[in-house]
Amino acid sequence: MELSRHRSPHHNATTRQDDVHSPDMKHLTKTSNPSGPRAQLQVYVLALLLATFIAALHAGILFGLADVLMLFRQWAQAAVAKRPADILVVVAAICGLFGAHIGEVAIWATFFWKLGHLPSFADSWYFAGTSHTTLGYGDLVLKKPWRSLGPISAINGLLTFGCSTAFLFLVLQSIWQRPI
C-alpha cells in the first residue's frame, strides 16, 4: 500500500491511496472528535510545555556543545595544522547542531503520533519536520481544531534554529579572531 498525502474537500486528514474512496471513512486519523474545550486546552498546554522543554534542552545542548568544541579544538590543533583543525571544529559544530535538531523533530513527531493526531510515525516525522523547520508544505495537516499545534512547533523550531545560527556564528567568530 503506497502512502499518499491526499486532502479531500470534505475533511482534513491523512489518507492512504487505497482508502481515498472508502465509504467507511477509515482513512481519518486516529484522533476522535475533540471532547471539548477542556481537552483542547490540555493538549495546547502540553504542547507549550513540550516547546519549553525543547527550548531548555536546546540551550543545554548549546552549552554542552561549546564545552566539547573547546576541548576538540585543543586536541585538533595539537593533532593537525591550525587551519584543518579550525575546519574540523566548524564541521563538528554543524554536525552537533544537526543532531540536536533531528532529535527535537523526533520529540515533536512522537508527540503528534502518540496523541493520535497522525496515523503513523512516518507521517508524524514528516509533519513535525516540515513544521519545525517552517518549511510547511501543507500537504499533511492536522484536523481542526488541532491545526494550531503546527504553528507552535514552527515557532519552537524557528527559535531553536535562530539560537543554532547565533551559536555557529560565535564558533566562526572565535576561529576568525585574527584577520582572514
Supply the CATH number for residue 78's domain.
1.10.287
pTM: 0.75
pLDDT at 154 over 90: yes
Q: Find out whether 89 and 105 touch, Cβ atoms under 8 Å.
A: no
Q: Is residue 25 part of a domain?
A: no
Predicted local distance difference test score (pLDDT) of residue 62: 97
Predicted local distance difference test score (pLDDT) of residue 18: 36
pLDDT at 13 over 70: no
Mean pLDDT of 103-118: 93
The pLDDT-based confidence of 20 (bands split at 50, 70, 90) is: very low
For 73-109, give one letter per residue: b (16+ CB within 10 A) or e: beebeeeeeeeebbebbeebbeebbeebbeebbbbbb
Task: Write out the residue range of the structural domain in which residue 166 sits.
Answer: 36-175
Q: Is residue 31 part of a domain?
A: no
Mean pLDDT of 160-166: 96
Q: Is residue 44 part of a domain?
A: yes
Q: Is residue 30 part of a domain?
A: no
Q: Is residue 11 part of a domain?
A: no
Q: Is residue 7 part of a domain?
A: no
pLDDT at 123 over 50: yes
Q: Is residue 114 part of a domain?
A: yes
Predicted local distance difference test score (pLDDT) of residue 1: 31
Instruction: Please tell me the total count of domains within the chain.
Output: 1
Q: How far apart are CA 80 and CA 64, in angstroms?
A: 24
